[in-house]
Amino acid sequence: KKRYNITLLPGDGIGPEVISIAKNVLQKAGSLEGVEFSFREMPVGGAALDLVGVPLPEETVSAAKDSDAVLLGAIGGYKWDKNEKHLKPETGLLQLRAALKVFANLRPATVLPQLVDASTLKREVAEGVDLMVVRELTGGIYFGVPRGIKTNENGEEVGFNTEVYAAHEIDRIARVAFETARKRRGKLCSVDKANVLEASILWRRRVAALAAEYPDVELSHMYVDNAAMQLVRDPKQFDTIVTNNIFGDILSDEASMITGSIGMLPSASLSDSGPGLFEPIHGSAPDIAGQDKANPLATILSAAMLLKYGLGEEKAAKRIEDAVLGALNKGFRTGDIYSNGTKLVGCKEMGEEVLKSV
Amino acid sequence: KKRYNITLLPGDGIGPEVISIAKNVLQKAGSLEGVEFSFREMPVGGAALDLVGVPLPEETVSAAKDSDAVLLGAIGGYKWDKNEKHLKPETGLLQLRAALKVFANLRPATVLPQLVDASTLKREVAEGVDLMVVRELTGGIYFGVPRGIKTNENGEEVGFNTEVYAAHEIDRIARVAFETARKRRGKLCSVDKANVLEASILWRRRVAALAAEYPDVELSHMYVDNAAMQLVRDPKQFDTIVTNNIFGDILSDEASMITGSIGMLPSASLSDSGPGLFEPIHGSAPDIAGQDKANPLATILSAAMLLKYGLGEEKAAKRIEDAVLGALNKGFRTGDIYSNGTKLVGCKEMGEEVLKSV
Ligand SMILES: CC(C)[C@H](C(=O)O)[C@@H](O)C(=O)O
Ligand SMILES: CC(C)[C@H](C(=O)O)[C@@H](O)C(=O)O
């Protein structure tokens, strides 16, 4: 029997609710495919701040590194919003991404036929959208130095950050993107701001140079401002998008809202060799935490990505994906995706419905 | 009689077509309000590259500086896309913004009742959208140093740019934004990435500190990724948005596409004292250049902004705005905003219809 060690990081807000459900789903899907899991739960984000005073304790890092995959709920909340930067929950997440070296963030944005009306876009625009944003996750302006706030010669404060990409960082994320596009519809759009930024000029040049190795993938380039427009105008034109950390942050959130079901969307963050980090795209939603209102499907689908991309357990992953579609087809909906004629359920009941269908 | 000197910069692609129409509209609206214009046409962008080998000739800069306002068509085209950075048409535009010190870029995004169906958003989401993006235009990562592409100690290429804001740069754009919000619905949303970037932490702190001087304006803060989502989810929640150069580039384009009529949207770029720069938000559209297909309304409305924000000639501005609505109410539409039951016209005919109604 195959055994995997999974680190669970429930985090803050609705994180614990959705993680406990995803854990059960993972366990059942695994056992039906002859796979066993050992789970270890560790603190991160605000929960860790409250417990031990830092957003990413050493023990959490080593547990995560020692495991086969990491499943994260969500981090952050009003309570810690005024904390200094190094004591923010978000800083724990950035440190975790850096520690695990998960440079490749895969964020699918898919409009399911069952949920097309949840989009604010017209039906004919939203229907059939199925794109993947491949976001660089451990470089660029998120991590670049020098950075800080200093006082200049006039006694005036100046805030500064550095957008920086080395050739090998661009190449490795581009390769992940080409491979991803190859397994999808074979179209890759690289998004940059090469008409203004030198970091983007190098980005575009390296991505273009790699295209020769992927003759089966059709590569195009687009400026980020235009991409932000085109996602609204005609999202179906996109298959796979590859972009830097900050543009990927913005565009993947925009893309996920276009689907109208951000409570549905998972993500995978992958490294070259170590364990991957899997988490829903949505935040910690402190306003509905503990009220059994959260949509657990994004975390459940993140567990499916964990199986597929993290462990190579495609069959168990497929079980989970099908179970989610099953629950939706039976008409079950949490509040965020509810529409007339469907059955409104809470977080737990949705979890149980998925579990039944696994 | 009042006289103003206007520098016209037709630029590339559809630029010359739309500028020549806007010029006529400006002249008529002015003469009806006792205002006269002297126009001087100068080259910029690709047109200037072809003519004299640089994207912003000295003569163009001094003509612009010596005038009361500058009206620009559009710049750029495939022809110059592979040029080195300092010989790109876009570089000419950035140099012009810097030379005129137009740090405040106002970009309205309005859904006109006549055009609500042009949006890809559902009618109930798009209807009534009326927001203004105030984008910082002469600072941030667009102009920050150090910047470039260098070879590091491993012989590897590295591309880098600097996002940088001094306190006074934040304060002056924030003041423009507070004043703008005050004249609108009194709501200002400052967009940043203060959970990650130090430049944003300073930005948020300075904007928040100024709020005390504008007690009649309701200030909120939003992360840029969330703003990109909220613009799709519920654009009506926004009145005035203030943000940095690169986030403003992305969000204003997204917002303009949400209206569905990017061919309709003007912009104003203002300095502390010198002449303002007024231009449509759309690009040079080389694929339809010279075919009498362009929508001249964005440039005509930019001329209205020139009158209102650049010269304080509110009455003449109002004449132009009303004339545009008049032409739309009569059912005239260029291809980009055409829908069943309206009258399809070319660029020139649309211009003549507006001219008639001035
Ligand atoms: C919480 C924040 C630091 C994070 C990011 O900006 O990467 C989040 O927005 C995300 O996209 O995962
Ligand atoms: C052409 C380009 C340099 C410019 C910018 O990025 O500012 C354009 O996108 C704009 O928004 O006016």
B196 within ligand 1 shell (Cβ under 6 A)? yes
B90 within ligand 2 shell (Cβ under 6 A)? yes
Mean pLDDT of A241-270: 96
Do the beta carbons of residue B187 and residue B181 sit within 8 Å?
yes
Distance from CA of B32 to the nearest CA of A (A): 38
- What is the edge-to-edge ordering of all strands in the sheet holding B266-270? B35-41, B2-11, B69-74, B276-280, B266-270, B104-110, B130-136, B240-243, B187-192, B218-223
Nearest protein Cα to ligand 2, atom 5:
B249
CA-nearest residue to B85 within chain A is: A195
Q: Which atom of ligand 1 lies closest to the CA of A279?
A: 12
Mean pLDDT of B330-354: 96
Residue A305's closest CA among A336, A267, A342, A343?
A267
pLDDT of residue A81: 87
**If DSSP codes are grouped into helix, strand and coil, which group holds residue B16?**
helix
Q: Which two tokens stand for residue B242?
A: 């203030």
Classify burial at B126, counting beta carbons within 10 Å of its beta carbon; exposed 0-12, middle 13-18, buried 19 or more.
Answer: buried
Smallest Cβ–Cβ distance between A229 and the set B224, B246, B254 belongs to: B254
H helix or E strand, kind and range, residue B54: none
Assign A332 a pLDDT band (cuts: 50, 70, 90).
very high
Q: What percent of chain B has pLDDT over 90?
A: 97
Is the predicted pLDDT of residue B4 greater than 90, yes or no?
yes
A249 within ligand 1 shell (Cβ under 6 A)? yes
**CA A335/CA A339 separation, integer angstroms:** 9
Strand pairing class (B276-280; B266-270): antiparallel
Q: Does the beta-carbon distance from B198 to A160 stay under 8 Å?
A: yes
Which residues of A form the catalytic set? Answer: 142, 193, 225, 249, 253
**CA A4/CA A2 separation, integer angstroms:** 7
pLDDT of residue B262: 87
Nearest protein Cα to ligand 1, atom 11:
A249
B225 within ligand 1 shell (Cβ under 6 A)? yes
The residue type found at B187 is: K
**CA B91/CA B76 separation, integer angstroms:** 10
Q: Which atom of ligand 2 lies closest to the CA of A193?
A: 6
Do the beta carbons of residue B174 and residue B190 sit within 8 Å?
yes
Q: What percent of chain A has pLDDT over 70?
A: 100
Distance B241 CA to ligand 1 centre (A): 21
Q: Which of A229, A241, A259, A337 to mutate to test the interface with B (most CBs of B within 10 A)?
A: A229
Residues in chain B with CB shorter than 8 Å from the CB of A137 are: none
Is the predicted pLDDT of residue A232 greater than 90, yes or no?
yes
pLDDT in tens, B254-313: 999 999 888 999 999 999 999 999 999 999 999 999 999 999 999 999 999 999 999 999
Mean pLDDT of A162-184: 98
pLDDT in tens, B85-116: 999 999 999 999 999 999 999 999 999 999 99
Q: What is the pTM of this model?
A: 0.97
pLDDT in tens, B293-307: 999 999 999 999 999
Q: What share of chain A is helix, strand, coil (3-state, %, to 5)?
A: 50, 25, 30
Do the beta carbons of residue B228 and residue B193 sit within 8 Å?
no
CA A136 to chain centre: 11
Q: Which of B198, B204, B230, B247 to mutate to test the interface with A (most CBs of A within 10 A)?
A: B198
Assign A261 a pLDDT band (cuts: 50, 70, 90).
confident
A225 within ligand 2 shell (Cβ under 6 A)? yes
**CA B318/CA B336 separation, integer angstroms:** 24
Do the beta carbons of residue A92 and residue B196 sit within 8 Å?
no
**CA B265/CA B279 separation, integer angstroms:** 9
pLDDT in tens, B136-172: 999 999 999 999 999 999 999 999 999 999 999 999 9
Q: Which atom of ligand 1 lies closest to the CA of A267?
A: 12
Smallest Cβ–Cβ distance between B199 and the set A94, A156, A160 belongs to: A160
* β-pair partners for A279: A267
Q: Which two tokens stand for residue A19?
A: 């993680």
